[in-house]
Structure 1
Amino acid sequence: MRKHYHRLVVYDIDYPPFLENRAFDIELMRQYPGAGAIAVLAKRLEESGVSMATSDMYLAGDITADETVVLGNEVTRYTRALLFDRGLKGVVCVSGESPIIAWGFYTGLPETSSWYDHLVLFPGARDLATGTGTFHEFRWPYPDLTPHPGKAWDERSLLAIVSGNKRAFGWPRPAFDLAHPKVSAGRWYRAAQARVAQRQNPWMQSELYLERLAAIRHFGGTDGFDLYGRGWELPTSGVDAAAQSAIDRSYRGEIPPHDKVDVLGDYRFSLCFENTAFPGYITEKIFDCLVGGTIPVYLGAPDIADYVPPEAYIDFREFGDYPSLESHLRGMSNAEAERHLSSAREFLGSDSAKAFTEAAYVELLARLLLGAFEGQR
C-alpha cells in the first residue's frame, strides 16, 4: 500500500535489526545503547507534523512525500541512492560509533562531510570533517541520569568489568570456515583493509581492546573480580594460558541491557575502558557506572576531565601497572570512596551532565531537521 506524507525524514541506517521501520520501536531500540534516541525523535517529529521512515522502506517505492530530507547514520549502501539518485537533501549525518569500528566512515569524512548540512560526531572527528557541513559535538544520549543507590559499600565485591569478547580490525585474523569460503574470504579481506588503514591513520592506533584483556589477565587471578559480557564462554584467540584461565575463572555470563546498572551497583569499582582513546569519545560505559553507584576506573577519551569531573572517577593513566592499581583499590577508605561517589551524584544533577542525555540529543536533531523544512541551514 502506497503512503503519502507532507513532510518526511528518511533515516539512513543499514543495520538489519533497525530496518523496515523497526528503528522507531522504542522497546526494541532500548536494547541497544544509545539507539532509543531515534525512536524518541520519531515521536518528537510526529508532534510537529513530520513523519520518519527507514531508508530501505523509502527506496522500496511505496512512500512519497511533499518534502523529504535525510538523517544519515554514517554512510550506508543506501546513501548515494538517496542523496544523488533521488536528489534528497542531506540535513544531518550522525555517528555514535567508535572510529576504530567505523573506520571506513571516518576515513571518508573529508568527502562525505560536504554531503550534509550538519555533522553530529565525536569531537575528535572535527579535523577530519573538512567539508562544508557544520560540525556539532556528539554527546552520548543517555536515557536517564537518575542515580541508583547500589548495595551498602561494605557488602560489595571489589571490581567488575562488563565487556564483549571483541577485537579491533578483525585481529587476530578471523577463523577460516571451509563450509563458507566466500564469507570467510570477505572477512579476511576486510581485516587486511583495516590493518592497512590503521597504519595510515594515527587516530586508529589507540584501540583499547587489548588493554581490557591485560586487565582481565591480572584481576581474573584475584579475589573479588567478576567479568560479564557476550562471548567470553568461547575460547579467546590470541591470549596465553594465564589470560584464558583468568577469563574462565572470573566469567559470570551476559547481563541483560536493563540490568546492567543494577549489577554494577553490587561492586565498589568497575573497569571502564572505552574501545579507543579518541578525543571526546565518551560512551554509555562511564554513565552506567556513575548512575549505578560504582566508581569507574576510566581509560578512554584523553580529554575526559573536560566533560566529567576528575573526582567522579579514577584515572587509569595515573597508575604505572595493574598491581599498583589493585593496591589503590583495595586500600581505599570508606571516606575516600564516598568523596568519589558524592562527586558523581553531584555531576549527574548538573547542567554539564544534561548535555549527555537522550532529551538533549533529540532536541538538537529535531531543531536541525525542522529548521531544514523551514529553509534554515
Structure 2
Amino acid sequence: MDVAIVPEYSNLLDNNFVTWDGEYAEDRSYDVDRGGYTELKNVFEQNGHTLNTIDLVNINKIDACIFVDSDMNWIKQVLECDNDPDMIYIMREPPCYRSFNSTSNLSRWSTVFDHILTWNDNLSQNYVNFSSYNWPQYLPQNIEEGYSFDDCKLLVNISSRKHSSHPDELYSAREDIIEFFSETHPEEFELYGKWWTSPPRIIDDILLEKIFLPNKYPNIYEGSIPISEKTDLYQKFKFALCFENQTEIDGWITEKIFDCYRARIVPIYWGANNVSEYLPSESYIDYRNFIGPSDLYNYISSMDEEEYSEYIVAGQNFLRDRPEDFSSDKFAEDVYSAVTSIDNSCSKWVPADIQSYIDYMGEADALVNNYDEIGRLEYISRFGKIIANRPSTVINHPVSYFACKSLVPFLPDIRIGSGWR
C-alpha cells in the first residue's frame, strides 16, 4: 500500500513532516506533531507499506492520501486521479481558526472523504466514517528544577495576539485577563508573544475596524521571544495563562498545557469542556471556576507554597506515567488503523456546491503555494478573478489577506509555510 500525506504548510514537504530527530524544538513548524507522524511512517513501513509527503509520489499510483487540515489544491488533484485513492482527512485546528473544521461543514464532507479523524469527541461519537485521535505530545519530564517559589513572579502569558468572530473563541477572554493585570497589577504579570504591537493580520480584524492598534500594554509587554526559550521563561513564574483558542468543544487539548507540565509551572486552563476526562483536575487551575480576572487574582496571589506544590506534583506524576492517550505510538496506531480499514464498497460523492468550493479554493491554494513562481502581478490578476466570482468562499481564507497585501503593500507581513508574505 502506497500512501501520500499532505501537510498544511509547504515547508513540511520533502518528508520533513514525517522525519523527526527525537528532540522537541518548539520553534519548528508542527514539531509537536512530528514525533507522531514519524512513528506513523515507521508503522506503515514495518507492515510493508510506504508513507511519503505528496510531493515525492506519483499521485496516480497511490492507494490512499492523508490530508492534515485542508489544502484544496491537492484535494482537487487527488479527486481527479483515475486510480481513485482513498482519502483520509485529519482535522487539526479548531473552527475558530479554520472554519472548514466546523461540525456542520465536516459532516457534509463525509461523502467526499472516505474517513475523517478528529479530536472532536462529538464528531467521532455521532457521525459515520469519523474516528477519534489525540494530538501526539512530547511527554518527557523536565528534570531540572526552576526558581524557588518565593523568587518566582506571579503570572505570565506567552501567545500571539489573534482575533476571531467565532462565538466560542478564547482570544478575547485571554486578552481580558491581560488587560486586567495591565491596569491593576502590572508588577505581577508579564506578556510575551507576536503581534501585540502590530496591526491586525486577518480579514476579520479589518471587518471589525481594528486596522491599526497601538501597543495597549506597554507596562507589561516584554516582546516576542523564540519559542525555544519558552520553558526557561516559564520557570521564572508560578502560573501561566493556558487558554486554548476555542472552548465549548470536547477533546480539544493541544501542546499548551503539556508545555506547562514540563516547565513545572501551574497552568490556568480553559479550552476543552471535558478536559478532566483526559488530564488530572488537580494538575491545573480551571478558569471556568472563577467569576473573572479579579476572582482569579485573589486565588492565585494568596496561594501558599504547599498548595502550589500539589499542582506541580500532580502534573509531574502525569508526565511520569507517560499518558498513553497522547503518545506518538497511540497516534500512529489510530491513524494506521483508520487508513487500512476503509470500506471501499461505497464510492465517493461530491455534491455540486462542494465541487464548486474545491474548484475555487483549489485554485486559490495553488496560487499561495506558488506565489514566488507566479509573480506579484499575475497573482493579483488571478486572485482578483477568484474573489470576483466567489467572494463568500474566500473571504475567510488566508489567501484573501495576501491579495489585499499585494494591493496594499503597507499591511504587515505574516508567516505561512516557509516564507513571509
Q: Per the shorter chain, which TM-score range?
A: 0.7 to 0.9
Please tell me the residue identity of whatever aligns with 2:162.
K
The residue number in structure 1 matching 2:417 is: none
CA deviation after TM superposition for structure 1 residue 100, in Å: 1.2
Residue 190 of structure 1 aligns with which residue?
none
1:126 and 2:120 correspond: no
Deviating more after overlay: 121-130 vs 103-112 = 121-130
The equivalent residue for 2:272 is 301
Task: State the match for 1:231 in structure 2.
Answer: 195
Matches of 2:86 and 2:329, distance apart in 1:
23
Choose the corresponding residue for 1:208, options 166, 170, 176: 170
Length, aligned pairs only: 326
Question: For residue 15 of structure 1, what is the aligned residue in structure 2?
Answer: 9
Deviations 1:138-180 (A, max 9, x none): 31211224244322222211111111111125xxxxxxxxxxx
Counterpart in the other structure of 1:136: 131
2:354 aligns with: none
Residue 313 (structure 2) aligned to one of 303, 328, 342? 342
Structure 1 runs not aligned, ≥5 long: 1-6, 170-203
Quick one: distance in 2 between partners of 1:82 and 1:29?
Answer: 32
* Aligned match of 2:384: none
Write the distance in 2 (CA, Å) between the matches of 1:280 and 1:322. 25
Question: Is 2:292 the counterpart of 1:313?
Answer: no
Report the RMSD for the aligned CA atoms in angstroms.
Answer: 3.1
When residues 361 and 257 of structure 1 are mapped into structure 2, their CA distance, relative to the original with a 3 A threshold, is farther
Matched residue SS, 2:134: coil
Deviation at residue 345 of structure 1 after TM alignment = 1.6
Contact 1:354 1:360 in 2 (8 A): yes
The answer for the alignment partner of 1:218 in structure 2 is 180
1:52 is matched with which residue? 51
Residue 289 of structure 1: CA displacement?
A: 0.9
Correspondence for 2:110: 113
**Cα distance change on mapping 1:159 and 1:357 into 2, 3 Å:** same
Residue type at the aligned position of 1:108:
N
SS across alignment from 2:225:
coil
Question: Does residue 260 of structure 1 match 2:259?
Answer: no
Normalised to the residue count of structure 1, the TM-score between the two structures is 0.76
Q: Which moved more, 1:323-332 or 1:35-44?
A: 35-44
Q: Normalising by the residue count of structure 2, what TM-score does the alignment of the two structures yield?
A: 0.69
Corresponding residue to 2:150 among 135, 154, 161: 154
- For 1:209, the aligned partner's letter is Y
Q: How far 1:334 moved relative to its partner?
A: 0.6
- Amino acid corresponding to residue 210 of structure 1 in structure 2: S
- Percent pairwise identity: 24
User: By percentage of residues, which structure has more strand?
Assistant: 1
- Over 3 Å counting, the alpha-carbon distance change for 1:13 and 1:29 in structure 2 is farther
Q: Which amino acid aligns with 1:335?
A: E
Q: Which secondary structure does the structure 1 equivalent of 2:70 belong to?
A: coil
Deviates more, 1:95-104 or 1:116-125: 116-125
Alignment counterpart, residue 287 of structure 1, candidates 258, 265, 269? 258
Segments of structure 2 that go 5 or more residues without pairing to the other structure are 346-421
Structure 1 residues 249 and 147, CA, compared in 2 at 3 Å: closer, same or farther? same
Aligned-pair distance for 1:124?
A: 4.3
Tell me if structure 1 keeps the 8 A contact 2:133–2:334: no
SS in 2 for 1:301: coil
